[in-house]
A and B are shown apart, each in its own frame.
Chain A
């Protein structure tokens, strides 16, 4: 299996740990990721806030590059995925013209749904060498991956299951909770830290109330918000994992997880030691 890979700007910086774990997991699953050559930023919220024409055109450049390769695209970042799908839909509807040929013949996958497909899920549960049994977690999807449903294609947008299925496949217990798709505040912390902290803290409290020892996410910004807010807290931390980090932990024996799990503020090592996942 070969797929075009669009990492997005975050994965070069604050989510470099996400990028590393994706590389390891896909190599283990024998899926070839071909990074889109000379990819550029999708425009994120800013382009969308200033001009719709720009918000459609910026991702289109990357979609066109993938179409040239003839490969479906897989996107790890929730916002990039949303923007690329938005661009594809708007071009399909003929609302905007773009300077690159975009025919809409390729699919844009968000990474969680791709890996939660039945075949992949079997491969993951069969390939698990280090089951995460006893680990209680809640899955957090955020907004951009699931909403609006007409763009993202999620049918279970109120109670999505992809991350839950993936967590269960590697032996962890995904608990039920009501805040799977409630916004974490996204980038509003840049101008209004108070709003972001209110929203993020609420999620953290609700996750703990549900009995979660950890949170599993798929969005770089959600991870940063939920993790960094814990820098100001004392008491037991609630580690915030990228779902690919859990897969990497479960699928690849050895590989020094103590080393690559260091990039979290909420230290996951004590919890994993307690559960006997790592020595």
Chain B
């Protein structure tokens, strides 16, 4: 009988999968930690999916915004930090703005991105993760950020140039650079702030504080 009705079996299995993960199974440590650090009302989410529907990049996310909130409630830290979502999120704040329960979805994802940047987990979107780091390095170098130097520095990071050569993105980038150069929109010589030392100290002291 068991083999004669595979459908019933499959149904039971998915029901098992549903009941296997209950909120609180892993304790509420992760949930409480995130609520404390972000001030977001993560427990208040009732999965209406309005955040996911408002999100312009949800089709490109592996864990959708409403799922992020559920995963936090379940304490699934590793899955969240290894997701593409934390890097793909644009911080456009659509989700937070339209949440009926004031959950602070964008703030939660941003906080997870900070945790991911600091964790040993390999970022799913290497180029985006490297970009943020390079931006801060350039900021420390000049006090301001020069677009031309930023892109140059990014391309010199391990793996980036190879990736861009493979996808053909490098050719596009050079064409774009030439267009901007012809329009006089490319500033080749960066401006260095007088107080760059002050900014360097600040970044070094603050980077890492409170994540």
Contacts and interface: CB of A to CB of B under 8 A. Distances in A.
A and B held together in a complex = yes
Given A57-B202, A147-B94, A46 B179 contact: no
B146 A9 contact: yes
A135 B195 CA distance: 46
Interface string B11-53: 0000000000000000000000000000000000000000000
B78 interface: no
A199 B56 contact: yes
Interface in B124-166: 125-128, 130-133, 135-136, 139, 143-148, 151, 154
A188 interface: yes
A200 to B, nearest CB: 11
A192 B146 contact: no
Given A48-B110, A192-B128, A195-B88, A148 B145 contact: no
A50 B132 contact: yes
Interface in A16-46: 16-17, 38-41, 43-46
Contacts of A99: 202
A279 B97 CA distance: 45
Interface string B159-179: 000000000010010011001
B144 A9 contact: yes
A31 B34 CA distance: 46
A187 interface: yes
Contacts of A231: 175-176, 179
Interface in A179-218: 182-183, 185-188, 190-193, 195, 199
Nearest to B130: A191
Given A9-B144, A41-B144, A49-B110, A190 B185 contact: no
A47 B88 contact: no
Nearest to A143: B92
A143 B135 CA distance: 21
B121 interface: no
Contact of A50 (B106, B117, B195): B117
B131 A51 contact: no
A54 B114 CA distance: 12
A272 interface: no
Contacts of B206: 51, 53-54, 57
A38 B210 contact: no
B187 interface: yes
Contacts of A228: 176, 179
A254 interface: no
A94 interface: no
Contacts of A274: none
A40 B193 CA distance: 7
Nearest to A182: B56
A148 B96 contact: yes
B76 interface: no
Contacts of B127: 190-192
B139 A263 contact: no
A81 to B, nearest CB: 14
Interface in B176-211: 176, 179-180, 183-187, 191, 193-196, 198-199, 202-203, 206-211
Contacts of B196: 40
Contacts of B185: 13-17, 263
B193 A38 contact: yes
Contacts of A265: 179, 183
A135 to B, nearest CB: 23
28 contacts: A9-B145, A9-B146, A9-B147, A12-B144, A13-B186, A38-B194, A38-B195, A39-B193, A43-B136, A46-B135, A49-B114, A50-B207, A52-B114, A54-B136, A54-B209, A57-B206, A58-B139, A143-B93, A147-B92, A147-B93, A148-B97, A183-B56, A183-B92, A185-B90, A191-B87, A191-B128, A192-B125, A262-B183
Interface of B: 56-57, 60, 87-88, 90-94, 96-97, 106, 110, 113-114, 117, 125-128, 130-133, 135-136, 139, 143-148, 151, 154, 169, 172, 175-176, 179-180, 183-187, 191, 193-196, 198-199, 202-203, 206-211
**Which 8 residue pairs spanning A and B have beta carbons closest together?**
A191-B127, A46-B135, A191-B128, A147-B93, A183-B92, A143-B92, A54-B206, A53-B209
